[in-house]
Structure formats: C-alpha cells, structure tokens
C-alpha cells in the first residue's frame, strides 16, 4: 500500500504528539525545562521559539528520545507511550543544525542508511532513494561526497535522509541557522512546501521569529524553561501574552498612560478606554501608529533617526517623556532627524499588558 501512495505524491501519516508533565533537570540541579504539558496535533507544524537557553532544544530532544524527561513525565506518539524508547526505536526523522551527515558515505549512501537499517530489500531501497533525491532536487548529486556539497545542498540531503524512512514525526533543530541569509530564505520556502505537502507532524526549533512566523501552524514561545505563550503566528503577534513575547516577536512600542473613568490619557490626548483605573502600560506595533497633523495627533515628538527601507521609512520618534517610539512612514517621506512630528493612536489597537 505505501508504494501506491509513493507514486502519486509522497505522503506521511499524521501522528499527534502529547507531552505530559515533561520537565528536565540536569545532573547538578540546573532546571532546563519546567514540567510542560502540550498536545501537538497530527499533521501540524509546531515551532518552538525562544532565545538560547530557553528550553526549546531540550523539549525537542525529549520528543526525539535523545533526552528523557524527569520522573513522571510522559511522551506519547498517538496512543503509544514512547517515553522509555530510545531514539532509534521511535521512528522519528531528525534534521540537525550541523547536518550530521556521514562524511564516509556518498549522498545516496547517506539517504539509504535508514532503509538499510530497516532491512529494506536492495531494489526497493534504490527506488525509494531515487524518488526521494528527485523530490529534493538532488538527483545530480547522488554520487557526490558530502564535502563536495554546499550548505544548502547538505541540509536538503539531511531532509531526504530523514524523510525517506517515512518517520512518524519530523524533528528539525535549527536547520537553517548555519546557512547564509539568502539560502536560508529559499530553503525555508522549500521546507514549508515540503511540510504542507507531506502532511507529517513536524516540530521545528528556532530562535528566529521570522522562520517561526513563516513555518509554524502554531508557535510555542519559550523563556527560561517555561512556555510563555502557545498560539498561531497571528495570535502571538497581535495578542502577546506578556511583555516578553511582545518584545521577542517583531518590534513593539511601549506607552505609559493613565486610565480614569472610561478614558485614557496619553501625553496630552484623552482617548476612550475601558479598564480599571490607574497607570497602565500599553503596547502598540509600529504599523498601528500613524503620522498625523498637529490638530488630530495624540502625541508629539522629535525624529531621532530615520532609516529609509525602500517601501517605507522607519522613524524613531522621541516624545517629550517616555521611551522612544518606532513608527513607519511612507517610503517617499522626507522626514529626517530633528523634525517635529505628531502621532495618532488607534485605541482599539492598544494592548494593555498585565
């Protein structure tokens, strides 16, 4: 049956993953991961995002079977409890930041390795390797040695090697980090296409928010061994759970205001507002602040820096008091350092952080 599937389009089973109370304390007592509960839906691409040391790689390695969770933690693939299984018996595909390709083998031998381990007959093996190399546009490199390939080609070989065995889950540990920017973009698109097409459950670890937004069905933002927020890229971007998430994803401005009896005072302006009375800290994206005239502006400040980005000009505006604000103006804007500007705030776009 898998053969007929292969001929149409390579498609893999969508196995859900469940983590129950998975924590990790290293010898010596350092807590790498606070106990974590998470369900990853079958076929979903989930991205663990966070700065280094946040626990994202530890989580991935627990799913992979390269680390075991602290006592009491469980890892389930579908209905099967795999907690006690080492990685070689979990049937996962894994892609590493440093490729981990075998230098003693050719591209073909690398891709065939997992099939050999599974004792797939020679003819079947050769056919599946060839199909996978074609899928990854690696046909012409079949006989090459690994050291004769570029970084992008190596990572495509690593993907082919991980996928050819039809794993239950695909795990990617910062697969694009070692590549230069341009290659990173093109390979990211290729991975995106691949993950959508295969329908496999994929867990992707990165510290790059752009990658996370582009690839993730859902993103798990992590900090200091804890989950800060789980949500779709839109939720994470527009409704960050806290200041850390807001700052980590994209650019966020902070405004101080005072809420009193259904109004909010920011600078000299008063806006309609619902919320408890008192000082509030507000977050607003650069694209939700607009340049305005003196008459309809809410805040005024001086341009401290203007960076021309082509389609827009990014301004850093220093208000009379409070932290500097980042605002986007039209690309053709002639505003420059020292100019006085007025900004309009849409109260519906303001986020109050607890």
Partner 1 sequence: MAMQNLSNRRGWGFWLQLGFTLLVCALLTVPMVMSMLAGLTANYFVGLKSGLTLRWVDEVLRVYSGTILLSLQIAFACLASTLLLGVPAAYALARRPGRFARLVEEMLMMPVAIPGLATALALIVTYGGVGDLRSSWLFILIGHVLFTLPFMVRAVLAVMGSIDLTTLEEGAASLGAGFPRRFFTVVLPNCRSGILAGSLMVLTLSVGEFNLTWLLHTPLTKTLPVGLADSYASLRIEIGSAYTLVFFLMIVPSLILMQGLAKRGRPSV
Contacts with partner 1 by CB under 8 A lie at: 64, 66, 86-89, 91-94, 96, 98, 100-105, 113-114, 117-118, 145, 158, 161-162, 165, 171
Q: Give one word for 72, left, alpha or beta, with left for phi > 0 and alpha for psi -120 to 50.
A: left
Eight-class DSSP state of 25: E
Given the complex with partner 1, which of 87 and 183 has the nearer CB atom? 87
Shortest reach from residue 75's CB to partner 1, in Å: 15
Q: What are phi and psi of 74, to 5 degrees?
A: -135, 145
CB of 54 or CB of 158, closer to partner 1: 158
Q: How far is the CB of 54 from partner 1 (least distance, A)?
A: 21
Of all helices (H) and strands (E), which one includes residue 83? none
Closer CB to partner 1, residue 202 or residue 343?
A: 202
Kindly state the smallest distance separating residue 93's Cβ from partner 1, in Å.
Answer: 7
Eight-class DSSP state of 70? P
Distance in Å, CB of 146 to partner 1, minimum: 11
- CA 118 to mean position of chain CA atoms: 32
DSSP string, 287-343: GGEEEE-TTT-SEEEEEEEEEE-SSEEEEEEEESSSS-EEEEEETT----TT-EEEE
Least distance (Å) from partner 1 to the CB of residue 299? 51
Cβ neighbours, 10 Å, residue 143: 10
By beta-carbon proximity to partner 1, the closer residue of 173 and 288 is 173
Return the axis-axis angle of helices 151-163 and 181-198, rounded to nearest 10°: 20
**Could you write out the three-class secondary structure of 192-258?**
HHHHHHHCCEEEEEECCHHHHHHHCCEEEEEECCEEEEEECHHHHHHCCCCHHHHHHCCCCEEEEEE
- Closest separation between CB of residue 139 and partner 1, Å? 21
C-alpha–C-alpha distance, residues 66 and 87, integer Å: 6
For partner 1, the closer of residues 168 and 218 by Cβ is: 168
Shortest separation between residue 181's beta carbon and partner 1, angstroms? 24
Give the list of residues 6+ apart from residue 84 with CB closer than 8 angstroms, or none.
none
What does the block give as tokens for 340? 């006085």
Query: Measured from the CB atom, is 154 or 184 closer to partner 1?
Result: 154
Residue 170 or 228 having the CB closest to partner 1: 170
């Amino acid at each position: 049956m898998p053969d007929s599937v292969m001929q149409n389009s390579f498609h893999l089973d969508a196995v859900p993953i469940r983590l129950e109370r998975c924590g990790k304390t290293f010898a010596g007592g350092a807590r790498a991961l606070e106990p974590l509960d998470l369900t990853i839906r079958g076929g979903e691409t989930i991205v663990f995002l966070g700065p280094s040391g946040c626990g994202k790689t530890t989580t991935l390695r627990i799913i992979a079977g390269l680390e075991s969770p602290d006592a009491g933690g469980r890892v389930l693939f579908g209905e099967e409890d795999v907690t006690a299984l080492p990685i070689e018996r979990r049937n996962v595909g894994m892609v590493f930041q440093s490729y981990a390709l075998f230098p003693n083998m050719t591209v073909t031998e690398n891709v065939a390795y997992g099939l050999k381990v599974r004792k797939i007959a020679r003819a079947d093996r050769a056919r599946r390797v060839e199909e996978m190399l074609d899928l990854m546009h690696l046909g012409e490199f079949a006989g090459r040695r690994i050291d004769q390939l570029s970084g992008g080609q190596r990572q495509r070989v690593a993907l082919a090697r991980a996928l050819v065995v039809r794993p239950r889950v695909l795990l990617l540990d910062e697969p694009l980090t070692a590549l230069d920017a341009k290659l990173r973009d093109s390979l990211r698109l290729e991975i995106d296409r691949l993950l959508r097409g295969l329908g496999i459950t994929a867990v992707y670890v990165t510290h790059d928010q752009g990658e996370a937004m582009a690839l993730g069905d859902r993103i798990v933002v992590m900090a200091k061994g804890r989950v800060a927020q789980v949500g779709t890229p839109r939720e994470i971007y527009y409704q960050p759970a806290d200041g850390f998430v807001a700052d980590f994803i994209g650019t966020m401005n902070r405004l101080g205001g005072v809420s009193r009896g259904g109004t909010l005072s920011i600078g000299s302006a008063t806006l309609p507002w619902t919320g408890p009375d008192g000082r509030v800290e507000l977050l607003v994206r650069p694209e939700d602040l607009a340049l305005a005239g003196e008459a309809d502006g809410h805040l005024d400040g001086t341009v401290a820096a203007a960076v021309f980005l082509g389609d827009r000009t990014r301004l850093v505006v220093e208000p009379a008091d409070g932290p500097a604000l980042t605002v986007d103006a039209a690309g053709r804007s002639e505003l420059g350092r020292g100019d006085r500007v007025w900004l309009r705030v849409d109260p519906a776009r303001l986020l109050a952080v607890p």
